[in-house]
Amino acid sequence: MVKISSISKQSAQKISVSKQQIRTNSNSNAVLMQDGAVATKIIPVEGEDTSVKTLKDGILSATSSQESNDLSKFDVNKDESTVSITVVGASGDLAKKKIFPALFALYYEDCLPKHFTIYGYARSKMTDDELRTMVSKTLTCRIDKRENCGEKMEEFLKRCFYQSGQYDSTENFVELDKKLRQHEAGRIANRLFYLSIPPNIFIDAVRCASLSASSANGWTRVIVEKPFGRDSESSAALTSGLKQYLNEDQIFRIDHYLGKELVENLSVLRFSNLIFEPLWSRQYIRNVQLIFSEDFGTEGRGGYFDHYGIIRDIMQNHLLQILALFAMETPVRLDAEDIRNEKVKVLRSMRPLQLDDVVIGQYKSHTRGGVTYPGYTEDKTVPKDSLTPTFAAAALFIDNARWDGVPFLMKAGKALHNRSAEIRVQFRHVPGNLYAKNFGSNLDQSTNELVIRVQPDEAIYLKINNKVPGLGMRLDRSTLNLHYAARYAKEIPDAYERLLLDAVEGERRLFIRSDELDAAWALFTPLLKELEQKKVNPEYYPYGSRGPVGAHYLAARYNVRWGDLGLEQ
């Protein structure tokens, strides 16, 4: 028997439901289970004697004993629950490239609950088999664990289904709901919706999913992909639109950089090693650099990108989130709320960004080795006169006691010379260094640098000064290197795996809370508006280069040298 009190804490205050969702049914039919589990469950079947509870404003108070009694008529084992994961926009690029492969990886690692079903939902017409064929093309097995790979894929694909529908049709979501209920078979039904669709249809999809397909007796969560608006106003409008149908606790705003192994490791590095935390302040750190670079352009995504640009695409979210994690004070505990409270304090302590502290660039066509790489505006979906930055560098400051005066330099660009994401921490000079004369006039070459290479080829390395072995006294800079591939045999999970698993488990630590989002937009919105109003021209840089030279002048103004440009990086 299911009691309403058995629903999760998050959904315990309010659950948005449609009039047709709170149903009770004593006439249950035996049907074959479709989720690969025991095939004998009794489930309520659509169209039978189903009483519908009409609820004021579509809001169910989950503590109502009346509802509790009604729901208790389901003939299920209260200990059994099931998770239905619906990928909304299943025909799209992100779903194929990241979401389905991540779900398979979780299944392969036995991380998904025993009873689960995956639904693809999109407008495209597809059968279950066609979805499976589409999905199967992008599934891979871990290099370090290839046993039973084919078998596991087949089992996984059997748990994947497809429902075609419009994103703004409550009727189509009712169809989805019926199918989900067949699979859930009367168990406690938890539902996760992944909005892998363009942002202009987020609210429609949430409205329909919430009104027609949210769970009647378990939790309902929605993962929302970025972009979360394009400035403070549009972000606030999106948040209030979502909150018409969902509680903040049900909204999982994904920033996949938070799911990257080395970003998650930041807190471990800082808070579990005595040698780092005491140095983590203006007293010892000269500057911090957050660097993102891609060696390809906007190929295929120019239409999306031109509306956003690199500052919104990478800096306002991925790099700023890393900065907040890097700079936050020690949280009370590792709880989601404690961590997010500390991150939001950092974001709210940031000095407003000045146009002077920002350099923007745009890549132009370049021919190398007989190959011509197209410029940004040669993309057919990009206006020829677009000023949208594909590169930006910025100097940011956190005006609090710990970081007063320390430049946090960000740099992000597309169509650069390499693909990488890293955090570089440059320490101050050793005061009264006994060995200063060994470094000549450039003392910068003697400072320690800690590099956290998020990707590719994950590593954490620390540049130290060392005596070159021998009878003389010659120093060099050597590296203490924690190279993940050499140290750990296990393949590193994709960021989407960790985040999907967290969403299933209700772990919110790595998702963005609405006040964090507001603070992030408050920092960048005035700058973005100024850039757009003044129609600031980007500095052009050749495809495949290291980006505009303006980035070097910006760093030099703060006495900083980008760490990724030296001979030894």
Ligand X SMILES: NC(=O)C1=CN([C@@H]2O[C@H](COP(=O)(O)OP(=O)(O)OC[C@H]3O[C@@H](n4cnc5c(N)ncnc54)[C@H](OP(=O)(O)O)[C@@H]3O)[C@@H](O)[C@H]2O)C=CC1
Q: Which is nearer to ligand LXAUTJHC, 294 or 516 (CB)?
A: 294
Residue type, 291: I
Nearest C-alpha neighbor of 168 from the set 121, 215, 128, 125: 121
Selecting among 183, 318, 483, 552, the annotated active-site residue is: 318
How would you write 445-457 as a 3-class SS string?
Answer: HHCCEEEEEEECC
Given a contact cutoff of 8 angstroms between Cβ atoms, the answer to whether 426 and 285 are in contact is yes
Which residues in the 178-217 window bind ligand LXAUTJHC by CB under 6 A? none
According to the binding rule CB under 6 A, does residue 458 interact with ligand LXAUTJHC? no
User: In DSSP terms, which residues pair with 82 in a beta bridge?
Assistant: 189
Cα separation, 5 vs 218, in Å, equals: 10
In the bound state with ligand LXAUTJHC, the residue whose beta carbon lies nearer, of 36 and 92, is 92
Least distance from C-beta 104 to ligand X, angstroms? 17
Q: Is 199 in the site for ligand X (CB under 6 A)?
A: yes
Q: Write each residue from 386 to 425 as x if it is in contact with ligand LXAUTJHC (CB under 6 A), else as -, in one continuous string.
A: -----------------------------------x----
Q: Based on C-alpha coordinates, what's the Rg of the chain?
A: 26
Confirm if 226 and 255 have CB atoms less than 8 A apart.
Answer: yes
Q: How far is the CB of 421 from ligand LXAUTJHC (least distance, A)?
A: 6
For the CB of residue 430, give the shortest distance to ligand X in the complex, in Å: 43
Binding partner of residue 199 among ligand LXAUTJHC, ligand X, none, CB under 5 to 8 Å per kind? Answer: ligand X
Q: Least distance to ligand X from the beta carbon of 168, Å?
A: 9
Report how far residue 181's alpha carbon sits from residue 222's, in angstroms, rounded to the nearest whole number. 18
Does residue 519 belong to the site contacting ligand X (CB under 6 A)? no
User: Which lies closer to ligand LXAUTJHC via its Cβ, residue 311 or residue 421?
Assistant: 421
Which candidate, 154, 174, 84, places its Cα nearest to that of 120? 84
Q: Fill in the per-residue mask, 449 to 478: x = in contact with ligand X (CB under 6 A), - = not in contact.
A: ------------------------------
Give yes or no for residue 313 binding ligand LXAUTJHC (CB under 6 A). yes
- Contact status, residue 283 vs residue 431, Cβ threshold 8 Å: no
Beginning with the edge strand found earlier in the chain, give each strand of the sheet holding 358-364 in spatial order: 475-483, 459-467, 449-455, 420-427, 285-293, 408-413, 391-396, 358-364, 539-542
* Residue 497 contact, options ligand X, ligand LXAUTJHC, none, Cβ 5-8 Å cut-off depending on partner type: none
379 touching ligand LXAUTJHC, by CB under 6 A: no
- Confirm if 301 and 414 have CB atoms less than 8 A apart: no
Which residue's CB is nearer to ligand LXAUTJHC, number 259 or number 407? 259
The span from the CA of 322 to the CA of 292, in Å, is 11
- Comparing CB distances to ligand X, the nearer of 129 and 277 is 129
Residue identified by tokens 């075609």 is 164
Answer whether the bond into residue 227 is a cis peptide, omega within 30°: yes
Structure tokens at 473: 């006294």
Compute the distance between CA of residue 515 and CA of residue 503 in angstroms, rounded to an integer.
19
Q: Determine the residue type at 252.
A: F
User: Which of positions 99-158 make contact with ligand X (CB under 6 A)?
Assistant: 122-124
* Cα distance between residue 320 and residue 412, in whole Å: 11
197 binds, among ligand X, ligand LXAUTJHC, none (CB under 5 to 8 A by kind): ligand X
Q: How far is the CB of 465 from ligand X (least distance, A)?
A: 41
What angle separates helix 149-158 from helix 128-136, to the nearest 10 degrees?
150
Nearer to ligand X, 245 or 408 (CB): 245
313 binds, among ligand LXAUTJHC, ligand X, none (CB under 5 to 8 A by kind): ligand LXAUTJHC
What does the block give as tokens for 537?
């021209």
Residue 92 binding ligand X, by CB under 6 A: yes
- Count interface residues toward ligand X (CB under 6 A): 19
Tell me whether residue 177 or residue 313 sits nearer to ligand X (CB atom). 313
249 is a site residue for ligand LXAUTJHC (CB under 6 A):
no
Task: Confirm or reject binding of residue 258 to ligand X (CB under 6 A).
Answer: no
By residue count, the chain amounts to 569
Residue 318 annotated as catalytic: yes
Stretch in the footprint of ligand X (CB under 6 A) among 198-206, 210-218, 406-414, 497-505: 198-206
Asked whether position 218 contacts ligand X by CB under 6 A, the answer is no
514 binds ligand X (CB under 6 A): no
* Smallest separation, CB 544 to ligand LXAUTJHC (Å): 16
SS3 content of the chain, % helix, strand, coil (to 5): 35, 20, 40
Partner interacting with residue 82 (select from ligand LXAUTJHC, ligand X, none; CB below 5-8 Å by kind): none
Q: Assess contact for 419 and 373: CB atoms under 8 A.
A: no
Between strands 251-254 and 220-224, the pairing is parallel
Q: Which is it for strands 116-122 and 511-512: parallel, antiparallel or unpaired? A: unpaired
Q: Residue 93 class from Cβ within 10 Å (0-12 exposed, 13-18 middle, 19+ buried)?
A: exposed
Residue type, 112: L
Smallest separation (angstroms) from ligand X to the CB of 419: 14
Decide: is 389 part of the binding site for ligand X (CB under 6 A): no
Closest separation between CB of residue 554 and ligand LXAUTJHC, Å?
22
The residues of the shown chain that bind ligand LXAUTJHC, judged by CB under 6 A, are 256, 294, 313, 421
Positions marked catalytic: 318
Q: Which residues sit at the interface with ligand X, rule CB under 6 A?
A: 89, 91-95, 122-124, 167, 196-199, 201, 225-227, 304
